[in-house]
Amino acid sequence: MKLEGIVLFTTLVTTACVTPDDEVSVESAAIESGVAASQFELDRAVKIPGCTATRINARFAITAAHCQPSVGATVNFYDTGPGFNASMTARIDQVILRPGVSGAACFNSDSNCLDSTGKFADVALLRLSTADEPDLEGPHATLAWVYPGDGVAGKKVGAGSHDGNVNSFGILLQATDETSSDDGNGRLETVDDDTDKGDSGGPFYVGGRVLGVLWGEAWVPFDWYNIYTSIPSHLDWILTNIGYSWRGQPSQANTLYSGTVLQTFFGTERVCQYACEKMASCEAYAHNTALQICQLVSEATGVSTGSGFRGALKHGARTGNSNDIVGYVRSDGRNAVVRTATNGRIHELLLDGAWGASDIHGNAPGVSSRLTAYRRSDNINAIVYRSTSNRIVELAFTNGIWSPADLTTVTGAEAAAGSPTAYIRTDGVSAVVYRGATTGHIIELRLGSRGWLATDLSVASGSNAVGLTDPTATVRSDGLNSIVFRSISGVSQLSQANGGKWTFDIPSAGGAPVTASRPFVYTHRDGTNAIVYRSTANQVVELTLENGVWLSNVLAVGAAGDPIGYVHTDRTDRVAYRISTGNLMELKRPSSTLVNMTATTGASTSSTDPAVYHRNDGVNSVLFETAANHAIELFSRTTTPWSDGDLTTLTGELP
């Protein structure tokens, strides 16, 4: 990566590291102090015309603004290396720059790379799309949220013309260097200048996270060094523009979670959430709104009122679920409950200061299943169900209108049986899973960069597993996509690491009681992955994954229907289920306290299984329907007991 050329003894000489496409050919040579890129670096690298880029989620890559990437240009990905795979391509659909930055001006001088706030900002976000979706769905890089200081070692990565030698195959190399400045003005510098033309836009990894994006080289008598745009300085802007959304429990005002402090730093709440999500041991965060200070916490031991703080737990809110009545937080922050009325039409009960009800069905096909509702990764509110003709239908809220789409027809997927479940995968892709009507296989519909796609996960895993119940789905604390259902073998799981292959296993294989219900997968407050179900003896059974082994434990007896698990905002793990009288029971742990929520609140008895969601106002909400088809909510704040409300009566809804 060493720049060849004439050294001018002036106060400052700067050079951007871009390679025009017509300067490359087949030859390539080892860079000075450089070695072949690691598989980790190859998996996340993108070769764009004249420069290097890095994948940061399933839709976006990051590079330098002065590379002047153009919409419609083709980019390449890497697999085993050392060069890019010519058959793995994508198209640039959008280029996003910091306000006030011109790529052309930035190319000429680093002093022209300042954004409208006066910070150095040679950074560009590239929205990508491809016809071969798995190419985009591989691993992506984690972005650094704090600057580690001066003298910290890292890895420079680039696909440039190493040592001035042309590099038409985009062979990716790395070199070790260390930071040599602070990043207070939006830029950071490294000790050495071992980059070359075409390395621009490439990452500087520190601790496996992207700390900077390369601008080029600068000369200050009597040495050269590299200039990078600081990622922490622009992280909130990056997260906003790539559509990042916190997947933990909704943020609560005046809430302070305490425990073992992992890290404290300055940043927005969005950056705080991203950091907690990316740090495996983080269980909760606390954010001081006025001072913009973030605190990441593990082993969350307490929660208290903290004036001026916002906080949330990371686990216990990610499971995709289908039910007769379900709740979720919409992209506009409003709490919504959706269900099917006795006339077969979908109703939305919306909390907007007060509860209101509306018929949102429009001209959508008739409903023949339970509903699942979620906010897609593109912030579209969506309700998904099986129609009377066994099609998977999505009712999406776009441009202020609820509009139906037949996802079965769009994808050519197998017709559906039972009820679908929607969730956001670990790579940020919106997905719907269901049982096939013909094969019984678990089918996935996912929203790709150019539309919906279908995959038979039973076939993809090599198991050909047949589902006997509807699936539930979540992202486990170890980052795996997990789809759980009952098969002839017992509680079964299809799982996938980001960018990996789908695998099949049987969590109940270790002698657990036989399941009679749909299993429900979720995560404990401390990150323990768990599955709850009702056994043939009507026991509430929980499977927990401990040290790589699934263990079983009987939690309660006398269950009816399908139990569910979640984490209450008071940090306790809980399981809710219906008994034969229609009363709803809840087991609170670790105290193993069993509460009859129906008797405690005086609520009506339930004729459906419960569904749980966390409202945007910090309320834990348990939903069910009565024999008269009224929608009932049991609600509890962090420190308050359960209360009940008849949402049908409150809204005047026709049940």
The predicted model gives 189-216 an average pLDDT of: 94
Tell me the pLDDT band of 80, cut-offs 50, 70 and 90.
very high
C-alpha 84: how far from its chain's center? 27
Please answer whether residues 20 and 234 qualify as being in contact, where contact means their C-beta atoms are separated by less than 8 angstroms. Answer: no
Q: Is the dihedral of CA 305, 310, 316, 321 positive or negative?
A: positive
How much of the chain exceeds pLDDT 90, in percent? 87
The predicted model gives 145-161 an average pLDDT of: 95
Tell me what pLDDT residue 25 has.
25
How distant, in Å, are the alpha carbons of 400, 479, 544 from that of 547? 47, 16, 10
Dump pLDDT digits (tens) for 282-320. Answer: 999 999 999 999 999 999 988 999 999 999 999 988 799
Pair of tokens at residue 147: 């600057």
CATH 3.50.4.10 fits 252-313, yes or no: yes
Q: Which long-range contacts (CB under 8 A, 24 or more apart) does 492-497 make?
A: 492/465, 492/467, 493/521, 493/531, 494/442, 494/457, 494/458, 494/461, 494/463, 494/465, 496/426, 497/426
Residue spans of the domains in the chain: they are: 13-241, 252-313, 325-651
Residue 493 pairs in a beta bridge with 484, 505
Place of tokens 């072949």: 36
Evaluate if residue 472 carries a pLDDT over 90.
Answer: yes
269-278 and 231-241 helices cross at what angle (nearest 10)? Answer: 90
Tell me the pLDDT band of 629, cut-offs 50, 70 and 90.
very high
Tell me the pLDDT band of 138, cut-offs 50, 70 and 90.
confident
The pLDDT mean for the chain works out to 93
Evaluate if residue 15 carries a pLDDT over 90.
Answer: no
Q: DSSP code of 120?
A: B
Evaluate if residue 431 carries a pLDDT over 50.
Answer: yes
Tell me what pLDDT residue 12 has.
45
Q: Considering the domain 13-241, what is its CATH architecture?
A: Beta Barrel (2.40)
Q: Single out the residue of 217, 327, 206, 310 nearest to residue 255, CA to CA.
A: 310
Left (φ > 0), alpha (ψ -120 to 50) or beta: where does 50 sit? left
Report the range of poorest mean pLDDT among 54-68, 150-164, 260-274, 558-572: 150-164
The dotted CATH code for 325-651 is: 2.130.10.10
Tell me what pLDDT residue 316 has.
87
Tell me what pLDDT residue 32 has.
53
